[in-house]
Amino acid sequence: MKRVRCPKCDNYIQFDETRYEDGQSLVFVCDNCQKQFGIRIGHSKLNAANRKAETTDEREGAERFGSLVVIENVFAYKQVFPLREGDNLIGRRCKGTEVDIAVETNDPSMDRRHCYLNVKRDKTGKVVYTLRDNDSMTGTFLLNELLGPKDRVRIAEGAVFTLGATTFILREAAANNGGSD
């Protein structure tokens, strides 16, 4: 089963892609807002080139600064987000809300601008990760411990933290030794 998102209200519509051939056009009507829109099954050459460029950039970023993995649950499917140097604002994806890591989830307990994960290099060149809450309604939990409003916690490879009912795992950069030879 595949999902397509309504361009007007972001509602998801599921369909069985095995019933259609590559190149076939499909028209959907959103149950939520009644918007009619179409898609084409398969990959166009232009979109494939864009996806390849984006994937390469994301892989390079993940190799330098690591990534966050969203664990699949009833609210969200598995997602992997590359991290960048500096503050990475994490929140629920919503039209009009700008965050660095926009998690696609139906979790109402995850704020649109929930927390920050700061990524920087220390004096030795090692990448350091610091997690802090952004005054969220439900809080940020690191290994089931609630972070206080001014807490800043260092985390490392495999750290598990939860925003609302959505859980993340930190994956450090492939070679997290920076310039220390």
pLDDT of residue 133 exceeding 90, the answer is yes
- Distance between CA atoms of residues 42 and 26, nearest Å: 11
Is 179 a domain residue?
A: no
Which residue in this structure is represented by tokens 């490879």? 157
Mean pLDDT of all residues in 101-130 = 92
CATH number, residue 166: 2.60.200.20
pLDDT of residue 168 exceeding 90, the answer is yes
Q: What is the pLDDT of residue 54?
A: 44
Q: What pTM, to 2 d.p., does this model score?
A: 0.64
For residue 25, give its domain range.
2-40
Cβ–Cβ under 8 Å, residues 28 and 38: yes
Quick: pLDDT tens for 95-105: 888 899 999 88
Cβ–Cβ under 8 Å, residues 93 and 105: yes
Is 116 a domain residue?
A: yes
Minimum mean pLDDT among 50-59, 91-100, 160-169: which range? Answer: 50-59
Share of the chain above pLDDT 70, in %: 85
- 121 and 167 share one domain: yes
Is 56 a domain residue?
A: no
How many folded domains does the chain comprise? 2
- 25 and 98 share one domain: no
Residue 84: is it exposed, middle or buried by C-beta count within 10 angstroms (0-12/13-18/19+)? middle
